[in-house]
A = this chain, B = another copy of it.
Amino acid sequence: MIDNPYYTNEFHGEYELISIGQLDLEEGGSIPDCQLAVATFGTLNDAKDNAILVTTWYSGTHQIFRDVYIGPEHALNPEKYFIVVINQIGNGLSTSPHNAPDDLAMSKFPKVRIGDDVVAQERLLREHFGIETLQLVVGGSMGAQQTYEWAVRFPDKVERAAPIAGTAQNTPHDFLYTHTLNEAIRSDPGWDGGEYKSNEDVKAGLTRQADIWGVVGFSTEFWKQEVWRALEFTTMDEFLDGFLRPYFTVMDPNDLLAMAWKWQRGDVTRHTGGDLGAALGRITAKTFVMPINEDMFFPPRDCAAEQALVPNSELRVVDDVLGHLGLFGVAPTYMPQIDQHLKELLDSDA
């Protein structure tokens, strides 16, 4: 267990650690006391039928949703809905390599799959809050993987689904992309087979990971148009050193690797023997598939191919020059589009 100040209330505001007990894992083994970090917004009504689940992405936590996506001015309106953001296993706030008990910690952390997260989330919602159905499941990137997994695994529980900038079945390109992110960490001698003493020991590797994100996570136009100037940086290097690299270097390397392993293997066809049409055909939720037009690794055509297999679905492409990392909501034109699509989805009959 490592003491990393990034994964604290000081940086992440209020959240609750909720134990769901022992979580048996698809790959074998278990997490004896699986704790999920949960942030809620709004009030669960007596019928317990106004809940929305928000899932988190690689490197992300509930924080970005609290700060950018959720509020009375947004579709994710806590005055109307009970919004539950559940941090994914391995993200540093929920049970993760860096904070697990010694026998699960660091290099000993078990392999966790997207399906394990969704099973854990369903149990938490049901046992802790008494929630049996969700008005909406929504998440971006790895959060979209969880959203699809929810809609395929628990079709009766998901009224609406909004996978943003992500896929139901991870693509080979994304597998290789994630491999390069992992290798940036694992090639750092400071990583030491996962037994480093501090994330600071792996700063060089985390910096290399950040730079690869810079190449694939943003769009070519983001750099060409110097969109980073909107964040009040005056040079590209300042943006890298002041924003993108520090974003990753404070994080825990093993936590990132645990999430990456999941990301690489996200695949709803595990339920249907490899048949994507059959898996997505199970979805009964009204679904808006929402790729970002400039996304370089979840391009709209990959998302559109899946959307075509979801019975009650629409493709809603979000325009954002930032590309995949448009998910951060930096562009002033981003959230209005998200809100418009989610509001329309929430207002529609499921």
Residues of A at under 8 Å CB distance from B? Answer: 171-173, 175-177, 179-180, 183-184, 187-189, 204-205, 208, 211-212, 214-216, 218, 220-224, 226, 236, 240, 296-297, 299, 301-302
Contacts and interface: CB of A to CB of B under 8 A. Distances in A.
Chain A interface, DSSP helix/strand/loop, else mixed: helix
A172 B223 CA distance: 6
A183 B226 CA distance: 23
Nearest to A189: B189
A208 B187 contact: yes
A81 to B, nearest CB: 35
Contact of A180 (B208, B296, B299): B208
Given A183-B208, A187-B187, A208-B183, A172 B216 contact: no
Given A211-B176, A215-B180, A216-B215, A204 B223 contact: no
A173 B215 contact: yes
26 contacts: A171-B223, A172-B223, A172-B226, A172-B236, A173-B215, A173-B218, A173-B220, A173-B224, A175-B236, A176-B211, A176-B215, A176-B223, A176-B240, A177-B215, A180-B208, A187-B187, A187-B188, A187-B204, A187-B208, A189-B189, A215-B216, A215-B297, A220-B299, A220-B301, A220-B302, A296-B296
Contacts of A183: 208, 211
A176 B204 CA distance: 16
B172 A224 contact: yes
- Greatest chain B CB density within 10 A among A171, A183, A215, A216 is at A215
Contacts of A180: 208, 211-212, 214-215
Contact of A302 (B173, B224, B226, B302): B224
Contacts of A220: 171, 173, 296-297, 299, 301-302
Q: Report, nearest first, the 10 A-B pairs whose CB atoms are least far apart.
A: A172-B223, A173-B223, A173-B220, A177-B215, A180-B211, A176-B214, A180-B212, A183-B208, A176-B215, A220-B299
Contacts of A212: 180, 212
Contacts of A226: 172
A163 to B, nearest CB: 17
A57 B297 CA distance: 25
A305 to B, nearest CB: 9
A324 to B, nearest CB: 12
A212 to B, nearest CB: 5
A216 to B, nearest CB: 6
A26 to B, nearest CB: 22
Given A173-B218, A175-B236, A215-B216, 17 more contacts: A171-B224, A172-B224, A172-B226, A173-B215, A173-B220, A173-B222, A173-B223, A176-B215, A180-B212, A180-B214, A184-B208, A187-B187, A189-B189, A215-B297, A220-B296, A221-B301, A224-B302
A184 B181 CA distance: 11
Nearest to A236: B172
A207 to B, nearest CB: 8
A169 B177 CA distance: 27
A172 B299 CA distance: 21
Contacts of A177: 215
